[in-house]
């Protein structure tokens, strides 16, 4: 009999895993269960879809029949996995108000995460103009609201990467935007120096940034439509659309219903093969905690590339290979209009907390020939261990190739390379692509005191 694999969740991790399983094994009986309307959707392009810059196809790549016809993967949409009986290997599903039980040999959990709902007075569940952005369906709802209601003022609560990208999206749609951040600063991984151009760009684009104050209360009109928010400071801000993006929490409701034994504080932790403690049950993506290879602690890292990689590794292991997932070292990137930032590894403060004798170098560099009229300097900060010169973290703010340079640092950190070794790297150079002294070599020179 064919081995039966059930994948729960049709987002980044679940869909990638199902497709990879099919590529690796034509004989498996694969069923994917998704509680929402779409599968193979991507969260990352949604701010640009809402702004009208990317088509719907960039958000929802394929319809279910594509996977059924082309890849022989059975897709169940609008179908919620409610409980798993791990002893009998049965998933209980709810579809069209009908309950059903499906048997599995192998179960892959990729249930994702949900935005945290802030504690705000008078926040109603279902109302016009209040949104969270977590998936393709949310993106479609936000876009429909904007098209139909033509909001003029927007408030974005939370200035993480999703908040920042949505502020840009709303500005591109000509809304007047207020960003509200309860913490005392935005982008806390950036030093004051690196943060300054980012904030300047936000102000240039007309964004009002309020830090150190949360939203206390929401005000509606008689049609149940949001019209204003009141801040902790007492200030009232008019708004026609309110986006709540204060962070996410892993989706573990299914596991709570199924008697899953969490190792620590409701955290799902797998081994390096993406296996949970239950035989035949794998877990990947936003719903799990993974090891940060520098900090040595488990963190919830909600990133699409991380989920995809874990999906490939889980699929390989299900198909009998022994592939290990090596964890993360904290790489991520975002942008606001033309200004970009990316980071990897740890900050100076984190390095000091971890007991490193840490130092940092700050460097302003061009990323292509400075003679071009559009050439602008980028700024990099690199944290290293003073004792051996091993790089611990890097962060960059600039206009071009920012994530690509930080990716090089990610490899440097992963391989525990010393700044002194940068001179051994052979980089590309042409005036449109780089500078003769690649930023890493410029950093080497500064480190070796060859340059101020
Ligand atoms: C606006 C936005 C921007 C982002 N930008 C980036 C970026 O630039 N770079 C980056 O790396 N990442 C980004 N991400 C994060 C990325 O989208 C997620 O990390 C990724 O989607 C996680 O994949 P996943 O499979 O773990 O979960 P998801 O993709 O969230 O998929 C989980 C799926 O499981 C379904 N599900 C949950 N419970 C059940 C159940 N009981 N039964 C059936 N189905 C269930 C859900 O409906 C969902 O479709 C962004 C996310 C958002 C929202």
Three-state SS string over 287-324 comes to HCEEEECCCCCEECCCCHHHHHHHHHHHHHHHCCCCCC
Mean per-residue pLDDT, 289-296: 93
Q: What is the pLDDT of residue 263?
A: 79
Q: Does residue 45 have its Cβ closer than 6 Å to ligand 1?
A: no
Kindly tell me the sign of the dihedral angle through the C-alpha atoms of 433, 436, 437, 441: positive
Asked if the model's pLDDT at residue 286 lies above 80, the reply is yes
Residue 452 CA, ligand 1 centroid: distance in Å: 45
Least confident of 1-5, 283-287, 407-411: 1-5
Mean per-residue pLDDT, 8-17: 98
Per-residue pLDDT band for 43 (boundaries 50, 70, 90) equals very high
Whose CA is closest to atom 27 on ligand 1? Answer: 112
Q: What is the pLDDT of residue 156?
A: 98
Whose CA is closest to atom 26 on ligand 1? Answer: 285
Whose CA is closest to atom 52 on ligand 1? Answer: 43
Whose CA is closest to atom 15 on ligand 1? Answer: 303
Decide if 32 contacts 67 (C-beta within 8 A).
yes
Q: What is the pLDDT of residue 71?
A: 98
Nearest to 162 by CA among 58, 250, 247: 247
Asked if the model's pLDDT at residue 127 lies above 90, the reply is no
Per-residue pLDDT band for 124 (boundaries 50, 70, 90) equals confident
More confident residue, 126 or 38: 38
Q: Does residue 285 have its Cβ closer than 6 Å to ligand 1?
A: yes
Asked if the model's pLDDT at residue 450 lies above 60, the reply is no
Q: What is the mean pLDDT of the chain?
A: 95
Q: Does residue 6 have its Cβ closer than 6 Å to ligand 1?
A: no
Q: Does residue 190 have its Cβ closer than 6 Å to ligand 1?
A: no
Q: What is the pLDDT of residue 66?
A: 97
The minimum-distance atom of ligand 1 relative to the CA of 112 is 27
Q: What is the pLDDT of residue 264?
A: 76
Q: Give long-range contacts, CB 8 A cutoff, 24+ apart: 122-125.
A: 122/217, 122/218, 122/219, 122/220, 123/218, 124/218, 124/220, 124/224
Mean per-residue pLDDT, 147-173: 97
- 3-state DSSP call for residue 77? coil
Whose CA is closest to atom 16 on ligand 1? Answer: 304
Q: What is the pLDDT of residue 409?
A: 97
Asked if the model's pLDDT at residue 452 lies above 80, the reply is no
Tell me which H or E stretch contains 223.
none
Decide if 192 contacts 347 (C-beta within 8 A).
no
Least confident of 121-125, 168-172, 190-194: 121-125
Residue 331 CA, ligand 1 centroid: distance in Å: 18
User: Which residues, in sequence order, are bridge partners of residue 210?
Assistant: 180
CA distance 283 to 278: 10
Residue 348 CA, ligand 1 centroid: distance in Å: 30
Q: What is the pLDDT of residue 449?
A: 81
Mean per-residue pLDDT, 285-304: 95
Residue 11 CA, ligand 1 centroid: distance in Å: 5
Mean per-residue pLDDT, 317-326: 97
Q: Does residue 135 have its Cβ closer than 6 Å to ligand 1?
A: yes
Beta strands in 57-205 (DSSP E): 73-76, 79-85, 90-95, 98-103, 106-109, 113-115, 130-131, 153-157, 176-181
Decide if 285 contacts 12 (C-beta within 8 A).
yes
Residue 260 CA, ligand 1 centroid: distance in Å: 21
Q: Does residue 302 have its Cβ closer than 6 Å to ligand 1?
A: yes
**Percent of the chain, pLDDT > 90?**
95
Residue 304 CA, ligand 1 centroid: distance in Å: 7
Q: What is the pLDDT of residue 312?
A: 98
Q: Does residue 9 have its Cβ closer than 6 Å to ligand 1?
A: yes
């Amino acid at each position: 009999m064919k081995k039966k694999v059930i994948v729960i969740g049709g987002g980044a991790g679940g869909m990638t895993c199902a497709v990879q399983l099919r590529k690796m094994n034509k004989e498996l009986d694969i069923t994917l269960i998704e509680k929402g309307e779409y599968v193979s959707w991507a969260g990352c392009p949604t701010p640009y879809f809402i702004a009208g810059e990317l088509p719907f196809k960039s958000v929802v790549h394929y319809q279910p029949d594509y996977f059924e016809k082309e890849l022989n993967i059975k897709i169940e949409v609008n179908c919620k996995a409610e409980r798993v009986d791990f002893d009998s290997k049965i998933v209980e599903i709810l579809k069209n108000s009908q309950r059903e039980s499906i048997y599995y040999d192998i179960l892959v959990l990729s249930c994702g995460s949900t935005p945290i709902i802030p504690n705000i007075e008078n926040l109603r569940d279902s109302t016009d103009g209040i949104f969270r952005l977590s998936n393709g369906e949310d993106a479609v709802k936000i876009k429909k609201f904007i098209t139909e209601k033509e909001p003029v003022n927007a408030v974005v609560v939370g200035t993480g990467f999703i908040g920042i990208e949505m502020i840009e999206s709303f500005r591109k749609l000509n809304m007047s935007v207020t960003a509200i951040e309860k913490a005392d600063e935005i982008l806390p991984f950036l030093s004051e120096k690196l943060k300054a151009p980012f904030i300047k760009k936000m102000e240039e684009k007309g964004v009002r940034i309020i830090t150190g104050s949360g939203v206390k209360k929401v005000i509606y009109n008689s049609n149940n439509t949001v019209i204003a928010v009141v801040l902790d400071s007492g200030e009232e801000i008019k708004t026609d659309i309110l986006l709540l993006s204060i962070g996410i929490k892993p989706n573990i409701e299914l596991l709570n219903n199924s008697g899953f034994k969490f190792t620590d504080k409701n955290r799902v932790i797998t081994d390096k093969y993406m296996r949970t403690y239950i035989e035949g049950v794998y877990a990947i993506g936003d719903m799990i905690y993974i090891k940060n290879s520098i900090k040595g602690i488990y963190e919830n890292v909600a990133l699409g590339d991380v989920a995809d990689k874990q999906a490939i590794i889980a699929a390989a292991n299900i198909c009998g290979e022994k592939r290990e997932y090596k964890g993360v070292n904290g790489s991520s990137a975002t942008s606001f209009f033309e200004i970009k930032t990316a980071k990897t590894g740890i900050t100076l403060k984190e390095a000091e907390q971890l007991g490193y004798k840490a130092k940092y170098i700050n460097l302003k560099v061009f990323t292509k020939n400075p003679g071009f009229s559009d050439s602008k300097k980028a700024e990099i900060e690199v944290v290293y261990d003073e004792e051996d010169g091993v790089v611990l973290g890097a962060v960059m703010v600039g206009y071009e190739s920012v994530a690509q340079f930080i990716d090089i640092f990610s490899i440097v950190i992963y391989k525990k390379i010393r700044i002194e070794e940068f001179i051994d790297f052979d980089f590309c150079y042409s005036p449109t692509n780089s500078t003769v002294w690649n930023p890493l070599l410029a950093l080497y020179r500064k480190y070796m005191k060859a340059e101020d």
